[in-house]
């Protein structure tokens, strides 16, 4: 090989191969080194995946690396193994996974440390304040221990866990024991615990045990808002919490990556992106609210599911996995049925409170007998008034933000739509504007029809309108709203104010259903609940039930009974029957119609600004797929192309091809055939940039 040392490098690009380079004389690199190289006349920083390799191309065509980036951390072998496992399963390139794992360029380490010290100082002040405000001796001592541990860390000492332990009820201890047994059997544990049963205490108990064994913990939550609420709760038991999600600054995320790379034991609390930190020595991965669709990355590639990727990571790390939910996904329940997971039930609420009673209000019948006041029934208003008079709080869910989901002309019936997406524009007030919730397009709202000059009237009610109506009915009470229009900087403060009793009624979208625990909350209500089920998706009923059951669990805590009121036009829907204790075997229904988890789905997405070309090439792709599977023993079903419900976003039309695979030993090979067929089609038709593969779509 002419005395040259050849290496392979993973670049943050959508490439099917790992390019070869050679090390100039005097340069040294090892697996995981970060190197600067030229590719297609552009500079990139890549990760060395192999050293001293025999190149698969003519040596004279191989370029030297430009430099070894000494200031950038070395990529661990475990990281590269995870990238390759994710790329293989989700049919994307290793480079795309690398780009997701290392999105930021090198940052000044001194600035990192300065910001980290500032964060620790603020955390210390918060803990000291909690010591002063604590009413109970044991609570005061727990926070004091956390203060001492954090002070020790800031002085350069190794922070130890404060003395004591997490107190569990007999039911919780029984569940924790069964989880340990599942771990001993080498299986993933699924903790199916009703809302309010104290799953978090079990997580913390097992996390402490893992840390005391000298191994690290990754604690995943589906959304940023949940991590913010949990940080204080975890810190009282495990002071050195590393928080990692997109809401943290790039400098802060970099500091967490450095801390993780230095080794454990550590506890990282984060969203799905925390999976790609440079972990080593992981002993436990906790996936809270494992059913939540926020764990699925929609775009760009890798389009991975955080829950399932946690399983891949656990194999590489030799870690145990604990999944938790009050409404487990059907995929996880299926895995317990076939013996892959162990299901652990926790049906007793921690404070022995009862599940909130469910009351359905038929809005069609109420309007008929004039029992509605705008979008709110008089029955619901009466319950809200009684709750407030008792000194308790109310949470109201409306699944659509804005003042009205759409507006319509009273003369010609036209509904203004986004010029880019063909989606009805939502009306937002203050300031008056029409907004597309898919691409962000906005335009002024004049209430004048652009088609005929008639008058535009709102259709339906969003969170803004519900908030306005409630404030009008309860003018002496504090009403607030939490939804996608709430600035990130204000979200945590709103939740804190509600927890402190400063807000009487909080109106919001799905974000308010997630994991929050409020002492004075005794009534939760859903407005226009039918919109949750009115989706063209085989998972619609499962997701609606999960959302409603999670929301129901927000009320009636601390031993007090709660109420759950649902306003609906269809009170006989099976989802409501299941909420009220009826049986609905959704798994049997999935099996009957050949849906996951009994099969595996892959969607091929095609996007193009030229709709005629899109229609033609999407049909050609379907034919190419059928040809690729021709002659196989168990060929998958290929359906499409078809336009999804949202068929145009940002001036691009969308088509979809659905491929359904049987769950058998041929699945990995058939998936690779699919990936190859799509790649070859993209190259031959010069259409690669318009194609995307989505494995296990949400």
DSSP 76: P
d(CA 349, CA 172): 10
**Residues paired with residue 359 on neighbouring β-strands, in sequence order:** 565
pLDDT at 157: 40
User: How far from 653 is each of 42, 226, 645, CA to CA, in Å?
Assistant: 31, 35, 11
Using alpha carbons, select from 323, 196, 220, 227 the residue that is nearest to residue 276.
Answer: 220
pLDDT, mean of each 10-residue run, the chain (698 residues): 84 94 94 96 95 88 93 91 97 96 56 59 81 80 78 54 82 96 97 88 95 95 82 85 88 87 89 95 96 92 96 97 94 95 87 75 94 94 95 91 86 87 82 83 90 88 90 95 78 84 91 75 91 76 88 72 90 85 74 92 96 96 96 92 85 94 94 96 96 94
Beta strands in 119-277 (DSSP E): 188-193, 216-220, 241-244, 267-270
User: How far from 42 is each of 39, 152, 483, CA to CA, in Å?
Assistant: 5, 47, 42
Helix residue spans in 369-431 (DSSP H):
378-389
Q: State the residue for tokens 């009008």.
A: 472
d(CA 198, CA 351): 9
Percentage with pLDDT > 70 across the chain: 93
pTM for this structure? 0.82
SS3 367: helix
All domains in the chain, ordered by first residue: 5-75 (3.40.1440.60), 166-346 (3.40.50.300), 357-403+461-585 (3.40.50.300), 598-695 (3.30.70.360)
User: How far from 295 is each of 26, 226, 234, 320, CA to CA, in Å?
Assistant: 45, 13, 21, 19
pLDDT at 116: 61
How many Å is the Cα radius of gyration of the chain?
A: 27
Tokens of 204: 């913390």
Using alpha carbons, select from 417, 310, 236, 352 the residue that is nearest to residue 85.
Answer: 310
DSSP class per residue in 410-463: TTT----B-TTT--BPEEETTTTEEE-TTT--EEE--SB-TTTS-BEEEES--H
Q: Is the peptide bond between 265 and the residue preceding it cis, with omega within 30 degrees of 0? A: yes
């Amino acid at each position: 090989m002419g005395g040259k040392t050849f290496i392979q490098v993973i670049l943050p690009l959508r490439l099917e191969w790992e390019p070869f380079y050679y090390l100039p004389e005097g340069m040294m690199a090892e697996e995981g080194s970060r190197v600067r190289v030229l590719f297609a006349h552009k500079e990139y920083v890549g990760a060395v995946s192999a050293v001293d390799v025999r190149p698969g191309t003519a040596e004279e065509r191989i370029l030297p690396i430009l430099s070894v980036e000494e200031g950038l951390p070395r990529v661990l072998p475990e990281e590269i193994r995870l990238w390759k496992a994710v790329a293989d399963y989700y049919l994307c390139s290793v480079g795309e996974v690398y780009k997701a794992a290392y999105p930021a360029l090198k940052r000044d380490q001194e600035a990192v440390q300065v910001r980290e010290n500032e964060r620790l100082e603020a955390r210390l002040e918060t803990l000291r304040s909690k010591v002063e405000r604590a009413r109970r001796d044991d609570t005061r001592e727990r926070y004091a221990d956390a203060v001492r541990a954090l002070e020790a860390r800031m002085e350069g000492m190794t922070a130890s866990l404060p003395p004591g332990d997490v107190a569990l009820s007999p039911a919780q201890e029984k569940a924790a024991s069964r989880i340990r047994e599942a771990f001993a059997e080498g299986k993933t544990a699924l903790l199916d615990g009703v809302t309010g049963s104290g799953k978090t205490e079990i997580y913390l108990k097992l996390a402490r045990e893992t840390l005391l064994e000298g191994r690290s913990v990754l604690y995943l939550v589906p959304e940023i808002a949940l991590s913010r609420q949990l940080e204080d709760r975890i810190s009282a038991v495990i002071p050195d919490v590393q928080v990692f999600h997109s809401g943290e600054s790039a400098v802060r995320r970099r500091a967490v990556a450095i801390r993780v790379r230095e080794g454990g034991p550590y506890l990282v609390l984060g969203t799905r992106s925390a999976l790609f930190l440079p972990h080593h020595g992981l002993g436990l991965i906790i996936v809270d609210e494992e059913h939540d669709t926020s764990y699925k990355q929609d775009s760009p590639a890798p389009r991975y599911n955080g829950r399932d990727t946690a399983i891949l990571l656990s194999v590489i790390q030799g870690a145990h996995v604990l999944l938790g939910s009050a409404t487990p996904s059907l995929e996880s329940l299926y895995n317990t049925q076939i013996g892959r997971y162990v299901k652990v039930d926790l049906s007793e609420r921690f404070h022995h409170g009862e599940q909130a009673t469910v009351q359905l209000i038929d809005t069609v019948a109420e309007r008929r007998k004039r029992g509605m006041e705008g979008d709110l029934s008089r029955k619901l208003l009466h319950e809200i008034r009684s709750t407030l008079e008792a000194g308790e709080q109310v949470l109201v869910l409306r699944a659509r933000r804005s003042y009205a989901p759409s507006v319509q002309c009273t003369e010609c019936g036209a509904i203004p739509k986004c010029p880019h997406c063909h989606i009805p524009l939502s009306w937002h007030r203050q300031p008056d504007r029409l907004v597309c919730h898919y691409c962000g397009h906005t335009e002024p709202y004049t209430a004048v029809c652009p088609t005929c000059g008639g008058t535009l009237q709102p259709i339906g009610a969003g969170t803004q309108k519900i908030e306005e109506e409630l404030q009008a009915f309860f003018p002496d009470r504090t009403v607030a709203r939490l939804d996608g229009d709430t600035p990130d900087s204000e979200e945590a403060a709103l939740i804190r104010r509600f927890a402190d009793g400063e807000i009487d009624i909080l109106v919001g979208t799905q974000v308010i259903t997630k994991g929050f625990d409020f002492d004075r909350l005794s009534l939760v209500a859903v407005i226009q609940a039918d919109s949750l089920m009115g989706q063209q998706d085989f998972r619609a009923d499962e997701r609606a039930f999960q959302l409603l059951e999670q929301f129901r669990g927000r009320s009636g805590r601390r031993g007090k009974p709660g109420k759950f009121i649902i306003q609906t036009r269809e009170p006989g829907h099976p989802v409501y029957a299941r909420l009220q204790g009826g049986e609905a075997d959704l798994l049997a229904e999935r099996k009957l119609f050949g849906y996951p988890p009994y099969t595996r789905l892959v969607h091929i997405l095609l996007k193009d600004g030229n709709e005629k070309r899109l229609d033609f090439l999407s049909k050609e792709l379907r034919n190419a797929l059928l040809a690729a599977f021709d002659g196989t023993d168990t060929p998958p079903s290929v359906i499409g192309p078809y336009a999804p419900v949202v068929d145009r976003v940002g001036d691009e039309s969308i088509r979809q091809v659905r491929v359904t695979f049987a769950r058998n030993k041929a699945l990995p090979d058939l998936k690779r055939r699919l990936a190859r067929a799509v790649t070859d089609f993209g190259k031959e038709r010069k259409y690669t940039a318009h194609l995307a593969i989505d494995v296990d779509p949400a």
